[in-house]
Structure 1
Amino acid sequence: MRSVWKWVGLAGVVGVAAGGVLVARDQRQRNAYSADDVREQLHRRYADAQARGTEGAGDRP
């Protein structure tokens, strides 16, 4: 029975390590954008939202 718990613990450690790798990769991707890139993307999203108008405005509280 102890062997089962060892495997469960090992699987937990591997899962945490894999999660850390994913977080680090995501952070590197976010840091790859310059401030101008982020600003341009936000302005583009805002313009798209304005073009759609108030569609779906009642969906949020």
Structure 2
Amino acid sequence: MRSIWKWVGLAGVAGVVAGGVLVARDQRRRNSYTPEDIRARLHQRLAESERQDRG
């Protein structure tokens, strides 16, 4: 019975580590944008949403 809890604990630790890796990767990707890139993307999304509202 004790061995089962050991495996459950290891699986939990592996899940936390994998989640941390995904968060770090996403944060790194978000930080790679310059303010000009973000502004251009926001303007593009606004133009697309205005087009969808019209037609």
Structure 2 partner of 1:8: 8
Give the aligned partner of residue 52 of structure 2. Answer: 52
Report the Cα offset of residue 54 of structure 1: 5.8
Residue 24 (structure 2) pairs with residue 24 (structure 1) = yes
Q: Which has the higher helix share?
A: 2
- Displacement of 1:26 in angstroms is 0.3
Query: Shift in Å at residue 53 of structure 1?
Result: 1.3
TM-score by length of 2: 0.94
What is the deviation of 1:25?
0.2
**RMSD across aligned positions (CA):** 1.2
Q: Mind listing any 5+ residue stretches in structure 1 that lack a counterpart? A: 56-61
Identity %: 62
Q: Which amino acid aligns with 1:35?
A: P
Cα distance in 2 for residues equivalent to 1:11 and 1:54: 51
Separation in structure 2 between the aligned mates of residue 18 and residue 54 of structure 1, nearest angstrom: 43
Structure 2, gaps ≥5 residues long: none
Equivalent-residue separation in structure 2 for 1:18 and 1:51 (angstroms): 40
